[in-house]
Amino acid sequence: MIQINEETAKERIARRIAAEFDSSENRFVLNLGVGIPTMVADYVKNPNVYIQAENGMLGVGPLAAEGQGDWQLINAGRQIVTQTQGCSFFDSSMSFGMIRGGHVDATVLGAFEVDEQANIANWIIPNGKQLGVGGAMDLVSGANRVIVAIQHQDRKGVSKIKHTCSLPITGFHEADMIVTEYAVFCYENEQLVLKEYAPEVSLDDVRSMTEANFVVSPLVKVMEVSV
């Protein structure tokens, strides 16, 4: 089995998730979390996709070039972004009304852990060093589709896809899809189902690197990868 380095892993995950939105012919509202999810924006090619930032913007453009851009125009990760033609600004209540009210078609977020019951843990590691929650709890419960973008294992080689999350939960039974550098899973009929796996790995490799139990889709295929 060939190991995939971190940079390649992140790009692969972002590209694979962006491909999910290629075929939308309708206006599609997408919210992106911090980290790998932000990278998804670089690979979305479909002009029908409108990126929402929960601090109050619909129609987020690419990151501003280094040293350029408007410092008061940021995404939820405090990165300076650009605006697209037709973008709009609004207050935080309308932004979360959009999210809570089911007007956001998908959210992509990172996680510390995700488990067999589609529970997501991504807001805190209880070590006393951080105190913050952000919009994740609203997003996982409000967005129509929740896509978890994570590297398959942590730096010690421990699976992030668990039988049961051990960290505080952000949302229960909310994940719809998991994309890692080695595999794509969906939740179907309350089961975790393997849909795709990377060309570098075998089914047995995926089983051995994944703590959670999963079933293999009869239509399982090799992930299309360009990196």
Residues 6 or more apart whose CB falls under 8 angstroms from that of 73 comprise 57, 64, 80, 81, 82, 83
Residues 6 or more apart whose CB falls under 8 angstroms from that of 28 comprise 21, 46, 48, 49, 50, 105, 106
Give the chain's length. Answer: 227
Helices marked H in 167-202: none
Selected catalytic residue, list 11, 20, 54, 196: 54
Among 25-33, 39-47, 137-145, 185-193, which window interacts with other proteins (CB under 8 A)? Answer: 137-145
Say whether residue 166 binds other proteins (CB under 8 A): no
The correct pick among 28, 135, 151, 176 for binding other proteins (CB under 8 A) is 135
List the x/- string, 29-68, binding to other proteins by CB under 8 A: ------------------------xxxxx-----------
Say whether residue 90 binds other proteins (CB under 8 A): yes
Among 11-19, 25-33, 166-174, 191-199, which window interacts with other proteins (CB under 8 A)? Answer: 166-174
Say whether residue 84 binds other proteins (CB under 8 A): no
Q: Which tokens hold the place of 7?
A: 């940079």
* DSSP β-ladder status, 191-197 and 183-188: antiparallel
- For 193, half-sphere exposure in the C-beta direction (CA atoms, 13 angstrom radius) is 13
Say whether residue 74 binds other proteins (CB under 8 A): yes
- How far apart are CB 128 and other proteins at their closest, in Å? 5
Q: Which is nearer to other proteins, 36 or 81 (CB)?
A: 81
**Which residue, among 34, 14, 62, 38, has the nearest Cα to 226 in the 3D structure?**
14
Q: Which is nearer to other proteins, 141 or 217 (CB)?
A: 141
The answer to whether the CB of 202 falls within 8 A of the CB of 210 is: no
6 is a catalytic site residue: no
DSSP-derived letter for residue 64 is P
Say whether residue 130 binds other proteins (CB under 8 A): yes
Contacting positions for other proteins (CB under 8 A): 53-57, 70-74, 78, 83, 89-93, 95-97, 99-100, 128-138, 141-142, 168-172
- Give the active site residues: 54
